Structure 1
Amino acid sequence: VVGPRYIPGAPVETAGGDEEVVDGFAGTGWAQNTDQVPDAARITPPVLPPGDGGRNRVELRVDLDPGFELGYLDSSYHDVLIREPEPAHYEVELRDGSTLANRDFELVWRPVPGQEVRAALFSEQVGDATYALLLVVPPSVASAGRRLPRETIFVVDVSGSMSGASIEQAKIALRKALNRLEPGDRFEMISFSDRAAALFGGAVPVDESSLRRARTWISHLEAEGGTEMLSALRLALESETPAEPEAGAATPVGQVVFITDGDVGNEEALFSYIEQHLGTRRLFPVGIGSAPNAHFMERAARFGRGAFTYIGKPEEVEERMASLFKKLEAPQLTDLEAVWPDGAAEVWPDRLPDLYQGEPIVVTARLEVLAGEVGLTGRRGQQPWSMKLGLAGGGTGSGIDKLWARRKIAALMDDRTLGAEEAAVRSEVVDIALAHHLVSKYTSLVAVDVTPVRPAGESLETAPVPTELPAGWNHEAVFGSLPQGATAGRAYLLGGLLLILAALVLRPGRRERVR
C-alpha cells in the first residue's frame, strides 16, 4: 500500500505557471513538482476522503515452496486459509476472497525449530541460460554469543503522517528499546518533523539519570509537521563514531535505529547520503503503521548494511523490538560469501549481508551450466563456518530468472543513485527489463484492447484512481483542509494570514475630502 508522501523542496513552475513536465508527463497527483522531488505530481495519487473509502479491494493467492518443512506459517494482518497439498508445499489465500487495499500484506514463515543454518537451492532453465536461487535460512534458535557493547542512536519520525496509531506504536517501540540497553552501552535520542532535534547532543552512557530523561522525552512526543528526514540523518550519521576501546576491551558496535513510516518523495537523495556517511555503523529502519514505505525501508537497510523491521500494530511492538535487538546483539553469520563453480556466475546481490535471526538471505545467479556445487563460507561467532550444496541436486522453480533480473536492475539503479551516468544505466536496465518482461523506471507493460469502444476521432482521457487512506491514519492530521499532505502547510498559511492582518491594522487610514 502506498500512503501519502511528504514532498520537500520549492515548487517548480514553467514560465506559463504550469507544473514542470517530467519524462513527458505532468502528473495527476495532489502535490506539485519541486526542486527536490521533480516527479511529485506522479507519486501522489488522490486519496479517498473519510466516508468514501472501501472502493479498492484486492484478491491474493500465494504458492509457497520453501524447500523444507515449516514450523510456523501465518499472515500478520489478514485472515487466511492455508493448505498443504504435498509435503513442504503450501498454498495461502485470503479467507474472505478479497480485502480492502489499505494496509500491507505480510506472510510470516519459519522452519521447524533448529540450531543450525539451513540452505536450499532451486533452478530454472530459460532459453540457453540457467538461473539459480540460493536460500540461506538462519537458525530458529539463536546461538549464544558474547554480547558486545553498543552505541545506539534512536531516530523517531514525529511528522504529521505518523499521527494516530503510528506515533503511539513508535513510543512503545522506543520504551522497549530503552529496556534492552545495558551498563557499558551508550545512546542518543533524535526526533524529526520539519527539523531534527537531539535529546543529549551526543551519545551518553546508560545510567539511571539518562534513562529517566529519555523516558520523559518520549512521553512528550507529538506528531505534526513535515518529514525532513535528511536533517535527521545528518544529525545521526555526522555525530562522532564510537570511540576506540581500551586495550583488551571489545570494540563498541555503532548502530542507528530509524523509526518512521518512510513516506517521503526524495528517497534517492537519502540513499546517496546514507552510502556516503554511514561509516562503520549499521542502519536498522523500523517501519511503523499499516502502510510504511517498504521501498525506502528495504533500500535504506541495504545501503545501511542492516535489516528492516516492520511493526504494523501495537500488539507486535514488544515481540518485534525484542527480535530486532537479538539481531543487533548477535548476528548468526558474518563475513558471508558464496563461491560458485569456476566463478562463471553473475550473482545478485554481489555482496552478501550478515545473516540475522529471522532474516533469510536470497541469492540469485545466472549460470552457463548447472553443474558442480556452490560453497558458503563465513564466521559464526568467532569460529569459521562453511557449507556446500550441489547445484544439480536442488529443486526447480519458476520466475527465478525474473527475480535475478529484478536484483540486477536494483543494483544498477543503486549505481545511478550513487552517481553513475544515467544514459548508460538506462540502456542496460531497458535491455534487461525487455528481455525478462519486467516493469522498471524506464519500461512499462502495455495491454492492447482490440475491441473498439471509442470513436476514432475522439481524444483519449486519463483519469487518476483514488487510493484508500492507510488503516489507522488520520485524514485530518495528514491533509487538514488543504491538499498539502504530511506537511506544515497549515502553519505557513496561518502565518501568512496573520501577516496580512497585521498589514491591514498598521495601514494608514484613508482620508476623505469634505466639501
Structure 2
Amino acid sequence: AVEVEELSESVRVIRLAEEDAIANRDFVLRWSTAGEETGYGVLAHRGDDGGFLTLMIRPPAAPADAQVMPREITFILDISGSMIGTPLAIETDLVSRSLDTLRPDDRFNIVYFSSGNAQLFDAPQPRTEENVRTARAFLRNLTGGGGTEMIAGLERALAAEHDPGRLQMYVLLTDGYVAEDREILELVRTRRGAARFFAFGIGSSVNRALIDGVGEHGGGFSQVVLPREGEEGRRRTVETLFDRIDSPVLVDVAIDWNGLPVEDPYPAKLPDLFAGQTIDLVARYTRPARGTIYVEARCGVERFRVPIEVELPEWEEANAALAPIWARWRIEDRMAEWQGATPSRRRGLEEEIVRLATEFRLVSRFTSFVAVDESRVVGDGTPLRVFQPVETPEDVSFEGAVGEVPVGSAVEVPSWGVAFQNTTARRVVVAVVRPQGEAAARGVRTGAVLTAVDGTLVHDLRHLEGLLLQSGGTVRLTFDPGGDVDLPGPGA
C-alpha cells in the first residue's frame, strides 16, 4: 500500500506505507493514460550538468486493422526451482486463461525449461477444444525444479517448426533469475527475425533488466505480474496482452528534430508502439533553442507526420531527474558496445562509463556506492568480510531458488573464493562464490550441492574440513549440478 500526498493539482508525492516497510519485493507504481486523441508532451531541464529533454507520445485508441494476419503464439514457461509454489501457479494460470482468448484461427504451442527443455506439441496446433483440453491437463500436472537453462529453452522455441504465413509471437513467463542476461538479450535481438517477444515477470522481485530487455529487443512489450494482485491482476494481465497484440501498432516511428541542437536520443531506435502504451524518449541538448519537431509513424496503412512546438530553455531547474535518466540510458548503450569491443576500446568505454556514473551519481558495472566508517578502528585495521543476510523475495521458495535451507555458520576456503554451509538436510551447499576466485573461474555456482571430494561422499561441513585436510595437490570436487571440478589443494 502507498500513501499519497497532494501538493497541487498536478503534483503528488507517493510514499510506501509504513506497514509495507519490509524490503522483500519490488515497488511497482501503476497508472494509466487517458484521452482518445494522440497526446504529446515535452519537458526540459538545463543546469550545471547540461541540457536534457524528454518527449512523451501517447497513441490514440484506434480501431482494429481490417486485415489481421493469423497468429502463431508460443508460450515459453520457466519451471525452474525458483518458480516453485506461487510463481508457477500464476504462470500456468496465465497461460490457461490465454487459451480462452486465442482466435479460432490461431495456432499455439507450449515450450518449457528448467535444467532441460521440452515442448507440448511437436508442432503448433490449432485452437480446438481437444487441443485446449490437452494443454490445460498438461499445465495442471506441471511441476517445478532444477536449474534455469533459459538460453536452451529459447533456442528450442526459435528453432521449432513454424508456419511462415503466420505472425510469430513468443510469450516468455519467468522470474528472470539467471546469470546470462546479456547473452539472452543478444539471442532475442539477433534471432527473432520478424517475430515479437512479450515478456512477463512473475513474482515480487523479478529481474527487471532481463524482463524489460526481452520486451524491448523482442519488438513487443514487458509487464510484471505481482502475486499480491491476485485473481483480478491475472485477468487484467491476459486482457492487456491480447488487447495490445489485437490492436493496431504504430510502426516506423521516427523523430525529425528539424535542426534543433538535440544529441544522443534514447532509445536510439524507437520501438513499435502497441495501443495503450507510451513512447518515452530522452535526449540532451547543447544550447537553448526554439522550433518545431515532427513525429512520423505509420498506423496500419496510414502514415502521419505531427508537428510539435518545442522550447529548449537556457536555464530550467525543474525536471532535474531527466539528467540521471539520460545518463543511465547512455551507460546501458556504452555497456552494450563494451560487450563486443576490443581490449583497447573497452578501456576507453570503461573510462566513459565511470565518468558518467560518477558525474550523475549512478551505480554501474564499474562503480558502486561504498560507505567507509573512519571513526573507529577494529582490531589491527584489516578489513573484515561479513556475510550480510537479506530478505528472500516474497512468495519465492528458498528451497526452490537455493536448493535447501542453510543452517549454522559458513566456512570459507579463501584460496578458492568459495564458502560452504550445511543445510537442514545435512548436505553441504555452496553459499558464496567470489567473482574473481578459482571456483568462479571453473564454473562453480551458488546453491550447488557438494556431493563428494576425490570420490568420497561428503556428509557435512565437519566431514568436508577433514577431507580437505587429507587432500593432496589437486582436489576433485563433485557438485550437483555442475559435475566434477578440479581445484588446487587449499594448502597449495
Q: TM-score range by the shorter chain?
A: 0.7 to 0.9
| Cα shift at 1:91 | 1.2
Match for 1:127 among 48, 51, 60? 48
Q: Which residue number corresponds to residue 507 of structure 1? A: none
Q: Where does residue 485 of structure 2 map in the other structure?
A: none
Give the letter aligned to residue 71 of structure 2: R
Query: Counterparts of 1:106-505 in structure 2 under 5 Å?
Result: 106-111=28-33, 113-127=34-48, 129-139=50-60, 141=61, 143-146=63-66, 147-244=68-165, 252-313=166-227, 314-315=230-231, 316-342=233-259, 344-345=261-262, 346-369=264-287, 370-392=289-311, 396-417=318-339, 422-447=346-371, 449=373, 452-454=375-377, 457-478=380-401, 479-481=403-405, 482=423, 483=429
Moved more, 452-461 or 200-209: 452-461
CA shift, 1:183, in A, is: 2.1
TM-score normalized with structure 1 length: 0.73
Give TM-score, length-normalised by structure 2: 0.76
Q: Aligned partners of 2:49 and 2:350: how far apart in 1? A: 25
- Partner in structure 2 of residue 3 of structure 1: none
Identity of aligned residues (%): 27
Taking the aligned partners of 1:455 and 1:181, their CA distance within structure 2 comes to: 65
Q: Per-residue deviation at 1:491? A: 12
Aligned residues: 410
* Partner Cα distance (1:199, 1:405) in 2: 44
SS in 2 for 1:263: coil
Specify whether residues 349 and 295 from structure 1 end up closer, same or farther in structure 2 by C-alpha distance, changes over 3 A only.
Answer: same
Q: Which amino acid aligns with 2:356?
A: I
Q: Matched residues in 2 for 1:439 and 1:330: separation?
A: 38
In structure 1, runs of 5+ residues without a counterpart are: 1-78, 245-251, 501-515
Instruction: Return the offset for 1:452.
Output: 2.1
Contact 1:143/1:332, CA 8 A, preserved across alignment: no
Q: Letter of the aligned partner of 1:330 in structure 2?
A: S
Distance of aligned partners of 1:456 and 1:170 in 2 relative to their CA distance in 1, 3 Å threshold: closer
1:143 to 1:412, Cα distance in 2 relative to 1, 3 A: farther
CA displacement, residues 368-396 of structure 1 (integer Å, 9 cap, x when unaligned) = 23321222111223222332322218994
C-alpha displacement of 1:441: 0.7
Structure 1 CA distance for aligned equivalents of residues 451 and 213 of structure 2: 33
CA contact (8 A) 2:123 2:162 kept: no
Structure 1 pair 415/359, CA: closer, same or farther in 2 (3 Å)? farther
Q: Aligned-pair distance for 1:188?
A: 1.3
Q: Determine which structure has the larger strand proportion and give its number.
A: 2
Q: Is the 8 A contact 1:115 1:143 kept in 2?
A: no
Deviation at 1:96, TM superposition (A): 2.1
Secondary structure of the corresponding residue to residue 342 of structure 1 = coil
Amino acid paired to 2:42: L
The whole-number CA distance in structure 1 between the counterparts of 2:248 and 2:336 is: 25
Instruction: Report deviation, 1:457.
Output: 4.3
Residue identity opposite 1:322 in structure 2 = E
CA distance 1:128–1:459, shift in 2 (3 Å): closer
User: Structure 1 residue 206: deviation in Å?
Assistant: 2.4
- For the 8 Å contact 1:272–1:417, the answer to whether it is kept is no
Distance in 2 (CA, whole Å) between partners of 1:235 and 1:407 is 31
CA distance in 1, matches of 2:240, 2:327: 31
AA partner of residue 115 (structure 1): E
- Report 1 or 2 for greater relative contact order, CA contacts < 8 Å, sequence distance ≥ 6: 1
Tell me the C-alpha RMSD between the 2 structures: 2.9
In structure 1, what residue type is equivalent to 2:48? G
SS in 1 for 2:168: strand
| Structure 1 residues 455 and 222: alpha-carbon distance in aligned structure 2, compared to 1, 3 A threshold | closer
Task: Tell whether the 8 Å contact from 2:251 to 2:273 is kept in structure 1 after alignment.
Answer: yes
Superposed CA deviations along residues 273-332 of structure 1, whole A, max 9, x for unmatched, are: 222211111111111111111111111222212111111123211111110111222244
- Match of 2:245, as an amino acid? L
> How many angstroms does 1:344 deviate by?
3.8
**Map of 2:489 onto structure 1:** none
CA, structure 1 residues 419+328, in 2 after alignment: closer, same or farther (shift >3 Å)?
farther
Whether the 8 Å CA contact 1:271–1:417 is kept in 2: the answer is: no
The farther-off stretch of 275-284 and 477-486 is: 477-486
